[in-house]
Amino acid sequence: MDAPPPPVSEPTFLDPHELIENSQPAPRTGGLWYVVGGFFFVVMISAYAGNQSPELQTAVRLLGGVTMIGLLMAMSVFTWITVGRQREEQRRLESLEELVQLRRWPEAAMMLQELLSKPTRSPQARVQGLVYLTVVLARYHRYADTITVQEHLLDNIDMDPGTQYALQLGRAMSMLQQDHLVDANQAIRDLHRVENSGESAGLALIEIYRDVKTGHPGEAIEMFDSKLALLRKQLGHRVADAWALVAKAYDMVGREESARQAYMNATLLAPIAEISRKYSEVASLTGKYQPAIAPAE
């Protein structure tokens, strides 16, 4: 009797470890150096043969010339193919960015799975893909996986300060969502040490969320009032998140009129379902306060 086949584990969709591993760019084959080496080889052979046997000089030079033309043509074809592939990858990254902006999450997830399941053409494309992966994973509330990717990027990749700061902000937010409050506090302290962090609306939003989550509504309201201009300028429509969180803070301290107005402002800018999906704490306000109603088409 045949033994039953071993259980096959179901492949995980958007498995961060797998995608981090598989997306490592393949080492360069050094095709250019082979061509340069070939070039030098032809030059040396040509010079040597010419000196050794003047009778063969013409034949050797002819052969050298033909080889050189062949090498140049090979290099041109190789460059053309490589550039074409890199452009295709760049186009896919641009499409991904648009899908994320348009909040078309299932399509973005599918595209990321495909892009990062095999070696990317360049390290920059991999980093960009992994950054988008953190956004998509957070959208699906897979915060532990989000933190895994963010920590991989922060620990292993040398990034520009702006991207690094944005990733640190994202990680702190994911930690809060995961209720890892000690880690989140440490992450917020680290963010405060970065130059000009006082001018970061992202950091202000995270602190408002922390204060609402940990039952410090007074501090959340104070932070919101002092940073409103910054939040508005830097977050654009995402300032709805801050309005919703401050509505919750007002509600917690019993300032219902302010809560009502803040809730109205939040729902003017974004649908309440979208905000509640991000911050479960805000869901309790649904039904208690009237949301803004968009006019009919």
Partner 1 sequence: MLSSASAISIFRRDMLLGTLLRIVMLAAATACMAMNFLPTARSTDGTLLLLGVGMLWLALSYRSVKSQRLAAESTSLIATGQLEEAERQIEEALGSFSLFRATKMLTLHHLALLRHAQKRWQDAADLSRVLLKQRLGTIQSLARPNRLLLADSLLELNDVHGAYLALADLYRERLSLGEATNLLLIQLDYESRLGSWETMLPRGAAYKRVQLTELMPAASSARAQAFLALAAKKSGRDDWADWLRARAELLADPLTLMKDRPVLSELWPAKT
Member of 50, 140, 183, 255 binding partner 1 (CB under 8 A): 50
Rg (CA), the chain: 28
Given a contact cutoff of 8 angstroms between Cβ atoms, the answer to whether 152 and 130 are in contact is yes
Q: Cβ closer to partner 1: 8 or 294?
A: 294
Residue 198 near residue 191, CB atoms below 8 Å? no
**How far is 250 from 28, CA to CA, in rounded Å?**
57
Residue 294 found at the interface with partner 1 (CB under 8 A): yes
Judged by CB, which is closer to partner 1: 144, or 264? 264
Nearest 5°: the CA angle 183, 187, 190 is 140
Compute the distance between CA of residue 170 and CA of residue 27 in angstroms, rounded to an integer: 30
Name which of residues 142 to 171 contact partner 1 (CB under 8 A): 160, 162
Instruction: Tell me the C-alpha to C-alpha distance, in Å, between residue 279 and each of 206, 241, 290.
Output: 11, 8, 18
Residue 118, classed as helix, strand or coil, is coil
Helix (H, G, I), strand (E, B) or coil at 141: coil
- 69 binds partner 1 per the rule CB under 8 A: yes
User: Rounded to an integer, what distance in angstroms lies between the CA atom of residue 285 and that of residue 275?
Assistant: 11
Binding of partner 1 by 297 (CB under 8 A): yes
Binds partner 1 (CB under 8 A): choice among 17, 33, 47, 192: 47
CB-nearer residue toward partner 1: 94 or 190: 94
Q: Rounded to an integer, what distance in angstroms lies between the CA atom of residue 56 and that of residue 50? A: 7
Given 232, 253, 256, 277, the residue binding partner 1 (CB under 8 A): 232
Tokens, residue 87: 């452009």
Q: Does residue 27 belong to the site contacting partner 1 (CB under 8 A)?
A: no
Shortest spacing between CB 84 and partner 1, in angstroms:
12
Contact 146, 137 (CB under 8 A): yes
Nearer to partner 1, 175 or 246 (CB): 246
User: Is residue 78 at the binding interface for partner 1, with CB under 8 A as the rule?
Assistant: no
- Sign for the CA dihedral angle at 264, 208, 148, 142 comes to negative
Q: Is 274 in the site for partner 1 (CB under 8 A)?
A: no
- Is residue 6 at the binding interface for partner 1, with CB under 8 A as the rule? no
At closest approach, how far in Å is the CB of 269 from partner 1?
6
Site residue total, partner 1 (CB under 8 A): 38
Q: How far is the CB of 278 from partner 1 (least distance, A)?
A: 16
Closest distance between partner 1 and the C-beta of residue 183, in Å? Answer: 29
Query: What number of residues does the chain have?
Result: 297
Note whether 248 and 282 are within 8 A (CB).
yes
What minimum distance in Å lies between the beta carbon of 265 and partner 1?
6
Give the per-residue contact string, 98-137, with partner 1 (x = CB under 8 A; - = no): x--xx-----------------------------------
User: Which residues contact partner 1 (rule: CB under 8 A)?
Assistant: 39-40, 42-43, 46-47, 50, 57-58, 61-62, 64-65, 68-69, 94, 97-98, 101-102, 160, 162, 232-237, 239, 243, 265, 268-269, 292, 294-297
